[in-house]
Amino acid sequence: MQVFTANDIVEVAVRIEENGITFYNFAEKIAKTEDAKKLFAQLALAEAAHKRTFEKLLSQIETYTPPERYAGEYADYLRNYVDNNLIFTKDVMDKQLSQVTDTVGAFDFAMQRELDSILYYHEVKNLVPAAQHEAIEKIIEEERKHYQMLNQMKKRYVG
């Protein structure tokens, strides 16, 4: 029995990117230098671009409507799952953000979340039909690019 479709995974990806935008806006506020502020603003824009990429991908995937007891039940479940169990959840984010006090710490936090999302997408890919694996691979590639961008920017600050 298939539990998730590529459509579901992409909806989660959109939510993850929204949470990423929130994080990078926070990081921009705590950054001490204009250079760092600009970098985090660029990362927030990159998250927004990723979100648009995933939304475009979502529009190209066939719609899946799971059986629901009420309209929107499944979408609510996915949103709550992301908020409570995945990357950039509110409770975890609040706790961990209190420990992010500098630019390098913000890069470390974000890089770990990108790796977590890559792992998530690899695992979930096994839950969707093979015909939808390409859509999941596109998401994984976007997350890899984001991780690489973070890593390159962090190197500027670590020296």
Three-state SS at 157: helix
Look at residue 120 in the predicted model and tell me its pLDDT: 77
pLDDT tens across 13-48, in order? Answer: 888 888 888 888 998 998 887 887 888 898 899 889
**Sign, Cα dihedral of 77, 124, 22, 42:** negative
Q: Judge whether 52 lies within some domain.
A: yes
Residue 42 and residue 40: Cα distance in Å, rounded?
5
Q: Which among 87, 88, 7 is positioned nearest to 54, based on CA atoms?
A: 7
Three-state SS at 114: helix
Q: Judge whether 122 lies within some domain.
A: yes
Residue 16 and residue 119: Cα distance in Å, rounded?
13
Instruction: Name, of 42-51, 55-64, 72-81, 85-94, the range with top average pLDDT.
Output: 42-51
CATH of the domain at 121: 1.20.1260.10
Look at residue 90 in the predicted model and tell me its pLDDT: 66
Q: Judge whether 1 lies within some domain.
A: no
Contact predicate 55/14, CB 8 Å = yes
Residue 61 and residue 21: Cα distance in Å, rounded?
24
Domain count, the chain: 1
The whole model's pTM is what?
A: 0.71
Q: Judge whether 86 lies within some domain.
A: yes
Look at residue 1 in the predicted model and tell me its pLDDT: 39
Inform me whether the pLDDT recorded for 2 exceeds 50: no
Look at residue 25 in the predicted model and tell me its pLDDT: 93
Task: Please compute the mean of the pLDDT values over residues 61-79 and round it to a whole number.
Answer: 67
Residue 132 and residue 10: Cα distance in Å, rounded?
11
Q: Judge whether 130 lies within some domain.
A: yes
- 65: domain range? 6-158
Inform me whether the pLDDT recorded for 78 exceeds 70: no
pLDDT band at 79; cut points 50, 70, 90: low
Give the CA distances from residue 6 to residues 12, 111, 129, 152, in Å, rounded to whole numbers and listed in that order.
10, 24, 8, 30
CB atoms within 10 A of CB 124: 17
